[in-house]
Chains A and B, each alone.
Chain A
């Protein structure tokens, strides 16, 4: 057990937890925008898969992870628009249409991968950025300041989202539409326009999350997200629809995963207990969700389509 408290083990857990948290963090942030405006998008995982394949394939062909990320953005925008069309304009049952998007993403990303790529081939990953002056600090440097560039960008999106949601007119409209769309509509706020925007932002961030996942791993594999999109949706509830809470939830999930892995590597958790230990992050998340659910309420209009005068 004392092996767990060495510098290398603690650094590995924290740095690994941050790496594991980032795709979840980005996808959850995107889903937060939609849910705060009253739209639940269960298709996050499918959009992540499409973003992951698009990003991976682009890097494979161009060698540039940044162009790959841009393609992830583009795919996210398109899928966000498609999701908004179904959920907002066509007023489709949000759960069902989201599952449809997920299944489309799961199948189509795999189909394209098999047709266009075939055997998995490694790609260029995002470059690492050692923050000057900070990366050399003992312990903390390796934990927080020796990551790939996108990880810093992902965490920069937290204060940005807090500002957008809490301090801007757009953010106020999002919250109004999510809590009381009729009142917002009577005050001249276009409910459908706000929801189109938030669902598209959500799709975009899901596409980015998928691209980050695949490019940071340097590989694509069928169903590479392994349901991370659904975990991201759970983390929105965990974080009580607030960017800071979502960041804490993502980090908790990533850190628990990394801690369990490190304890297995150090043989603190015996091999016989591996499968049970693998469930730990999910169990902790569920327990936390139960606690959160008793203290916070979701946006009042969540999952409810809006029809003027209805």
Chain B
């Protein structure tokens, strides 16, 4: 009888541990309402798509107001979602900071998260998040150097700020670490597809054989790279489907890694006050290779080594 009791107790303990572990792994998101306000289209294969995909990955169907390049429009949408009582309002654009700080102060019972930034304005209901996009940029730069035969590598950037600047700087540092020089051109616009396309054309005429770029306007540049047979490295979302023949790899943002934690905290009553960052180490940043691209083993190995070096701290991207 005593032995039988011990077995039952052991089984019960296992059951409790299993239940507890299950609770840690999955956040119950039924009835949890998330709204997203973002500058470009939800399917831009770049910045906005990365956050929409992340919320989708958590099994939540978000309310989305996209295309709000105009900050006043975004502010109206953020306020609207706060008034409607959404559990978490994501202001996905560093340009929204000024408006968000005012709106969040008016709705202390609503949780807000915004990025990319490391600023919570000292408010208890604001989380901020950012991406260490320089890490993936560095890895891409290393591989770009390995693939370039002309030593002429181009970077199409939007505006020299925030996440874009981080990626560009990381890419240039990675290429330099492998003995190549990458040149960055900021077009001055996040949305000018024609100008990004023409920038890529200018790089092509200057003899570039590897290109990369960041922000939603790069779809035009990818098209030029495809026409000219120039290799391309993507970031923010997997851009392989844009040009399967020339996209080597993409740094993909998996915001769900930190969003899951944020949602759990909101459910526990903590509405903000913390700063999150996705990195290669926490797998919020993932280098997705185009498996159909014939990438030389030594180049891929150089990329994998760079990833491990960044993770273990032996490589600095700055």
Q: Which residues of A contact B (CB under 8 A)?
A: 8-9, 11-12, 16, 19-20, 23, 110, 113-114, 117-122, 125, 213, 217-219, 221-224, 226, 228, 257-258, 261-262, 264-267, 271-272, 274-275, 277-279
Contact = CB atoms under 8 A, between A and B. Distances in A.
Main secondary structure of the interface of B (DSSP, over half): mixed
B218 to A, nearest CB: 10
A265 B183 contact: yes
Contacts of B66: 222
A16 B202 contact: yes
B206 A20 contact: no
Interface string B11-46: 000000000000000000000000000001111110
Interface residues on B, range: 35 or more
A213 B185 contact: no
Contacts of A217: 193-194, 197, 220, 223
Contacts of B184: 271
Given A219-B219, A274-B185, A274-B188, A120 B198 contact: no
A21 to B, nearest CB: 11
B205 A271 contact: no
Contacts of A117: 43
Interface string B168-200: 000000000000000111111101111101110
A267 B187 contact: no
Contact of A278 (B69, B189, B219, B220): B189
B45 A119 contact: yes
B186 A274 contact: yes
Given A110-B67, A274-B157, 4 more contacts: A125-B227, A222-B216, A265-B199, A275-B160
Given A120-B242, A223-B67, A264 B185 contact: yes
The interface centre, meaning the residue of B44, B157, B202 with most chain A CB atoms within 10 A of its CB, is B202
A222 B45 CA distance: 12
Interface string B147-160: 00000001001011
B185 to A, nearest CB: 4
B198 A265 contact: no
Nearest to B49: A119
Contacts of B192: 226
B44 A120 contact: yes
Contact of B42 (A114, A261, A279): A114
A258 B66 CA distance: 31
A9 B42 contact: no
Contacts of B160: 271-272, 274-275
Given A11-B205, A120-B242, A271-B186, A222 B194 contact: no
Nearest to B64: A114
A226 B196 CA distance: 12
B187 A278 contact: yes
B67 A222 contact: yes
Interface string B224-247: 001100000000000001110000
B126 interface: no
Given A222-B40, A275-B159, A20 B216 contact: no
A108 to B, nearest CB: 12
Given A265-B203, A275-B188, A226 B198 contact: no
A249 B197 CA distance: 21
Contacts of A19: 198, 201
